[in-house]
Amino acid sequence: SCCYLSRRLNQLSSHDPLWKRHCKKYWLISDAEKSQRNQSWKAIFISTYSDLGRYIQYYATLKKAWDDLEKYLGQRCPRMIGSLKESVREEDLDAVEAQIGCKLPDDYRCSFRIHNGQKLVVPGLMGSMALSNHYRSEDLLDIDTAAGGFQQRLGLKQCLPLTFCIHTGLSQYMALESVEGRNKYEIFYQCPDQMARNPSAIDMFITGTSYLEWFTSYVNKVVTGGYPIIRDQIFRYVHDKECVATTGDITVSVSTSFLPELSSVHPPHYFFTYRIRIEMSKDALPEKACQLDSRYWRITNAKGDVEEVQGPGVVGEFPIISPGRVYEYTSCTTFSTTSGYMEGYYTFHCLYYKDKFFNVTIPRFHMVCPTFKVSTARMETNHNEYAVDEDEDSTDTDEYEDRRRVLDIPAPSGRCPHHT
């Protein structure tokens, strides 16, 4: 605007260092890229703005997130990087809007101007989870596949899928309009209300308030090591750095995850997995080597109800721990309340002094269900139809025999099987 006021202002506003700052701030253009283009900073800014100007408030944040993710995974999961698709054009996004009859949010469009999701492959970019014979891995859908899954049916009206798991059919959806109790651009997992007669009664576990917040928060957890990389896959276990306990030379740490596909709001059944890491200090003396004999759990739900569980080994194994060795395993539990916590100890015996036994503390770790919304179809129905029993206790499923039965539950309304 200053260019048109006077010759002097025109000269000042064409001063290239001014445009360099904006190119770096809004478009993340580096000096090396500028040299390759062989253009002035002002020309680069204007040409980029003509293409991406509508995304100026989102582009730098999303581009940095994508760049950080690619750099991080390029060193740890290179084959996942190979599954990413090139960007789409503005006219492609406009065509999708015409196809589904809804406007796409600018932050979503901006992300797809950088990368058009990924191919339907395993492992998925949006994280994996493995528990006994239950496995899932979520892909970030490309724009055409997402448009093909756009929902207009009752319960999911005007919802666009963002992710998809080819093993479970699990998807995270984004609401493109404020209908059926959802906020516009809210992101969620669908959760069918199994106690409602109305098939459109779908509860929702909320995972984000906007695409920008949802995607950047996920990337931040990945690149800061908040989600572990296991066998070239991102596992969505959350680790609380304070959730660590050391007994002598042995340290136990715990990370947890919520599984929406095995959970439900009605009836109340909240399914969590936890991954435990047991490690002996590499500086420990060789005679400190020991073997795990049994476990003890104290499980408390949000009502204060307590259940105690004791059993041999962990997941059917009796691991030996020696200096520098790490043992990890995964198990699960369920709560009839939206939160709860577990704590306990392992009993070990020394390998060099077989009559010597000692306990190793398992730190208290909390599990909290994400925010959820009850279906408007349920709210509009006579509440006397339902009888919800929320007195169900939580259950530890470390037993090997129970691990193979996790997927035998016919529907998420089932409960984690009792130990034997």
Average pLDDT over residues 86-98: 97
Q: Which of 80, 62, 21 is nearest to 45 (CA)?
A: 21
Average pLDDT over residues 303-309: 96
Question: Same domain, yes or no, for 210 and 77?
Answer: yes
Which CATH number do you get for residue 294?
Answer: 2.60.40.1470
Per-residue pLDDT at 10: 80
Residue 383 within any structural domain of the chain: no
Q: Is the pLDDT of residue 410 over 60?
A: no
Question: Same domain, yes or no, for 146 and 273?
Answer: no
Q: Is the pLDDT of residue 404 over 60?
A: no
Per-residue pLDDT at 1: 64
The CA–CA distances, whole Å, from 87 to 32, 82, 84 equal: 22, 14, 9
Per-residue pLDDT at 7: 79
Q: Is the pLDDT of residue 179 over 60?
A: yes
Last residue of a domain, one of 171, 199, 223: 223
Domain containing residue 258? 237-372
Average pLDDT over residues 37-65: 96
Residue 416 within any structural domain of the chain: no
Question: Same domain, yes or no, for 41 and 109?
Answer: no
Question: Same domain, yes or no, for 25 and 44?
Answer: yes
Per-residue pLDDT at 389: 46
Question: Same domain, yes or no, for 82 and 179?
Answer: yes
Q: Residue 8: how many CA atoms within 13 Å on its side-chain side? A: 0
Compute the distance between CA of residue 275 and CA of residue 255 in angstroms, rounded to an integer. Answer: 5
Residue 45 or 11, more confident: 45
Residue 312 within any structural domain of the chain: yes
Per-residue pLDDT at 196: 86
Last residue of a domain, one of 357, 372, 387: 372
Q: For 117, left (φ over 0), alpha (ψ -120 to 50), or beta?
A: left
Per-residue pLDDT at 417: 37
Residue 398 within any structural domain of the chain: no
Residue 47 within any structural domain of the chain: yes
Residue 341 within any structural domain of the chain: yes
Q: Is the pLDDT of residue 157 over 80?
A: yes
Question: Same domain, yes or no, for 69 and 164?
Answer: yes
Last residue of a domain, one of 223, 246, 272: 223
Residue 378 or 214, more confident: 214
Beta bridge partners of 160: 174
Burial 292-323 (b: 16+ CB within 10 A, else e): bebbbbbbbbbeebebebebebbbeeebebee
Question: Same domain, yes or no, for 310 and 213?
Answer: no
Average pLDDT over residues 305-333: 95
Question: Same domain, yes or no, for 33 and 166?
Answer: no
Q: Is the pLDDT of residue 159 over 80?
A: yes
Q: Is the pLDDT of residue 136 over 70?
A: yes
Question: Same domain, yes or no, for 140 and 185?
Answer: yes
Compute the distance between CA of residue 124 and CA of residue 141 in angstroms, rounded to an integer. Answer: 10
Strands (E), 44-133: 128-131
Query: Any idea which of 41-45, 78-82, 208-212, 221-225 has the lowest mean pLDDT?
Result: 78-82
Question: Same domain, yes or no, for 81 and 196?
Answer: yes
Average pLDDT over residues 276-280: 97
Q: Is the pLDDT of residue 379 over 80?
A: no
Q: Which two tokens stand for residue 137?
A: 């891995």
Per-residue pLDDT at 3: 64
- Reported pTM: 0.87
Residue 248 within any structural domain of the chain: yes
Q: Is the pLDDT of residue 261 over 50?
A: yes
pLDDT tens digits, 30-50: 999 999 998 999 999 999 999
- Count of domains observed in the chain: 3
Q: Which of 126, 128, 191, 188 is nearest to 163 (CA)?
A: 126
Question: Same domain, yes or no, for 365 and 259?
Answer: yes
Percentage with pLDDT > 90 across the chain: 78
Residue 147 within any structural domain of the chain: yes
Q: Is the pLDDT of residue 392 over 60?
A: no
Average pLDDT over residues 79-86: 92
Question: Same domain, yes or no, for 166 and 127?
Answer: yes
